[in-house]
Structure formats: C-alpha cells, structure tokens
Structure 1
C-alpha cells in the first residue's frame, strides 16, 4: 500500500531531475567543445576581452569597470536574497504542524505521509540553500575583481589581466551554477501539489533553456573564432 501511494513520486521526480541533469551535462560538454555556439561560452570570451581592455586603459575606464561590477553584484545579491528568503519560508513550514503541509490532499496524486512530506520540503530547501551559497561565493569573487581591476600595473606584479579575468570568470561560473540550481528548484516547488506537475514543468523548462543557452543561427565556429582572435593577450575560454 505504501508503494502504491508513492510510486509516482519515486518515478516522476527522479526522472525530472535526471532530465535536468542530462541537459546540463550536455550543455557543459557543448561549452567545453564548442564554446562559441553557446551563450555561456560567448559571454565568457567577451568578459575576458572586457577585463583586458579595462586594465589596458584603466585611467579612462576605471569608473566604467566599477559601475559594471556593481551592477553585477546587485543582481547576484538580489538572487541570493530571494534564495535565502525562500529557505527561511520553507524552514518555517517544516517546523510547523503537518496539517498545513498537505494542500489539496484528496485532489492530487502522490504520497502524503509524514516521511514523503518531509522529503519534499527538505529537497526543495537544499536546492535553494546551495543556490544561496553559489551566489554568495560569486559576490565574493566579484568584490575581489572590483578592487584588483583598478590596481596599478606593474611588470613584476602578480595582478595581471589574466589573473583578474580568471577571478571574474569564477564569479560568473558560480553565478550560473546558482541560477541553474534556482531554476531546478522552481519545478520542485510544485512537488507540494503532486509529482505530475514537477515532471510537466521540467519537461517544459528544458526546451526553454535550450533556446536561451544556444546561439541560434551559428554556422561556422572556426571562422568566428579566427575573426575574434585579434587580441593577442587573450586566451581562449
């Protein structure tokens, strides 16, 4: 009887997470092998050029660098605040009585036992909590870049444009990971109302992310890379 009440949760929710994991594994391979066919790889290349250009002409562009990094910090701070507020709300629900954690019990599919309800909320809480950590580390690296990008250029200094661009790239990688964890947690919120909604939402989210992650209309990556390799100091992503 217990299996009959929770078999949908045991099948549809792991399947939804597996679809999301498989898509992001494919995206990671795509970024590594053909970076300029993806938004992530293209933006990473642009950020590297930006860091080199800012530090090369720092006296004229230092204000631009600070304002750009400040806007990035504000975006990460907003998402970190949203994640931790959702964590606080879920923690408050978990600590409350189970009577308020069973919405529409008679009209939805899936199990409603105490163990399954606890598993739902703990899983969702974990995703938002790890998302918050990624945003926090991203803000830490951006703050470091904010100071180092305006440091005086010294041939003997270890604060080189390459070092600063690597710190900036780490910040944006962590920000991207935080975003993906946040996006994965949103369908899991619907698990409160049944596992079928989780599967449908994840199935719909993947095509949306596909269209947002790829550079549509890209034809010849080699030609594009040769056109943008004019910066001799910049390394490929």
Structure 2
C-alpha cells in the first residue's frame, strides 16, 4: 500500500484514539486522587450509602433493592445485546463476497483498499466484542448482588458482609462503565468507513462532551479535598 494513499489513516486515526485514551487516563487519575470531583466517584460513594441503607431495613426494602438492581441489569443487557448484534452484522460484512467499498471509493479520503477495509471492520468487531464481554460480566456481578443482598448479613457469622456486597456492586458498575466507554469509542470508528478525517474530528468533539458529563465543576476543589477513604473505584 502506497504511503500517499494511507498516510491520513496512519496519522489521524491513531491520533484520535490517542486523544481519547489520554482523556480517559486523566479521568482515571482524577477518580483515584479526587473522586468527589467526578461523577464516577460520587456515584461510587452513593452506591455504598445505598447498600448501607438497604441493609438497615432489608425486610421492608428488599423489593426496592431488587427492582433497582434489575433496572441496572436491564440496561447492561440492552448494551450487551446491541454490541453482539453489531458484531454479528460486522462479521457478516467481513465474510460477504459483496465488496461494500466500491460505492464509497470516490467519497472516501485516505486508503480504501482491501486490506484497509478489512482492518476497519476487524477493529470495530474487536471493540464491540470487548464491550459485550464487559457488559456480560457486569450482569453477572449485579445478579450476584441481587441474590445476596436479601440474605442474612452478619459480620461475625456470615461471609456475605456489607463490604462484600459493596465490592460486588462496584465491580458490576465499573464493568458497565468500561463497556459503555468502549461502545462510545466504537461509534467514531464507524465513520472510518467514510475516511479518517471524520474519525479524528469525532474523537476531538467527543472529549469535551464527555468532560461535561464526567466532572462536577461546582465546588470541585472543596469536594476533592474531603476524606475519600471509603470510596473504592
């Protein structure tokens, strides 16, 4: 493949991915160091309070607890189903004898040869598969919490403690978040079919949108200075 045909793909697509990875690396650092300045950290703290509140009067709140967990499971199930359906569609396109690139050749910037088209579809397939894997594991942990939260909790006699339930719920929530972020990252890559320029622009546009959704700006410095020893993210 000649450089003049693929240099845009080689430069812009990895650069767009690097922008997204750098943002999520910085977000992870903020979640670890100043969790209460991020929505992820605040939600993690709220889930611990929720577990504690449910266990204090579980006989009256067991239906509420199970319904809340069921709603989370339904959300993860929807994302997992969507991911695996997209994987099936991409696998069908890859194995098809019809060349989908021909109608787009004149409109696509960058390389659009057989190898590059295969690389685009395989990359998307891999990301959607990992998203499905994360959501499936999230459903597993959330189902475990649904079973165990109604069981007797006694720190001296039972292995099912409040701390254990918090850990299971946190694992399920983190896996759900990772699965969603992988799904979001795959959406700009779908535009790679139409050229690398749109991929780069989509990643650059997505970062400020995610920033506004991920961070709590109001009193952020004061909130980040609070004791966060109980938050496990």
* Conserved 8 A contact 1:37-1:214: yes
* Structure 1 CA distance for aligned equivalents of residues 54 and 28 of structure 2: 28
Q: What residue in structure 2 maps to residue 160 of structure 1?
A: 161
Q: What residue in structure 2 maps to residue 191 of structure 1?
A: 192
Q: Indicate yes or no: 2:50 matched with 1:57.
A: no
Residue 103 of structure 1 deviates from its aligned partner by 4.0
Q: What residue in structure 2 maps to residue 215 of structure 1?
A: 216
* Structure 1 CA distance for aligned equivalents of residues 223 and 160 of structure 2: 32
* Conserved 8 A contact 1:93-1:101: no
**1:37-186 correspondence runs (5 A):** 37-154=37-154, 155-186=156-187
Q: For residues 222 and 15 of structure 1, do their structure 2 counterparts lie closer, same or farther at Cα, with a shift above 3 Å needed?
A: closer
* Structure 2 CA distance for aligned equivalents of residues 163 and 78 of structure 1: 27
Residue 97 of structure 1 deviates from its aligned partner by 2.3
* Structure 2 CA distance for aligned equivalents of residues 143 and 104 of structure 1: 45
Residue 222 of structure 1 deviates from its aligned partner by 5.6
* Structure 2 CA distance for aligned equivalents of residues 18 and 222 of structure 1: 27
Residue 106 of structure 1 deviates from its aligned partner by 1.0
Residue 14 of structure 1 deviates from its aligned partner by 0.3
Return the TM-score normalized by structure 1: 0.93
* Conserved 8 A contact 2:153-2:162: no
Residue 216 of structure 1 deviates from its aligned partner by 2.1
Residue 98 of structure 1 deviates from its aligned partner by 5.0
Q: For residues 102 and 52 of structure 1, do their structure 2 counterparts lie closer, same or farther at Cα, with a shift above 3 Å needed?
A: farther
* Conserved 8 A contact 1:148-1:159: yes
Moved more, 188-197 or 152-161: 152-161
Superimposed CA distance per residue, residues 51-85 of structure 1 (whole angstroms, 9 cap, x where no aligned partner): 11111211111010000000000000000000000
* Conserved 8 A contact 2:83-2:129: yes
Superimposed CA distance per residue, residues 72-120 of structure 1 (whole angstroms, 9 cap, x where no aligned partner): 0000000000000000000000001252234421122011111111000
* Conserved 8 A contact 1:103-1:192: no
Q: What residue in structure 2 maps to residue 236 of structure 1?
A: 231
Moved more, 150-159 or 124-133: 150-159
Residue 156 of structure 1 deviates from its aligned partner by 1.1
* Conserved 8 A contact 1:103-1:193: no
Q: What residue in structure 1 maps to residue 28 of structure 2?
A: 28
* Structure 1 CA distance for aligned equivalents of residues 188 and 231 of structure 2: 35
Structure 2: runs of 5+ lacking an equivalent: none
Q: For residues 217 and 25 of structure 1, do their structure 2 counterparts lie closer, same or farther at Cα, with a shift above 3 Å needed?
A: same
* Structure 2 CA distance for aligned equivalents of residues 103 and 204 of structure 1: 28
Q: For residues 222 and 19 of structure 1, do their structure 2 counterparts lie closer, same or farther at Cα, with a shift above 3 Å needed?
A: closer
Residue 182 of structure 1 deviates from its aligned partner by 0.4
* Conserved 8 A contact 2:12-2:199: yes
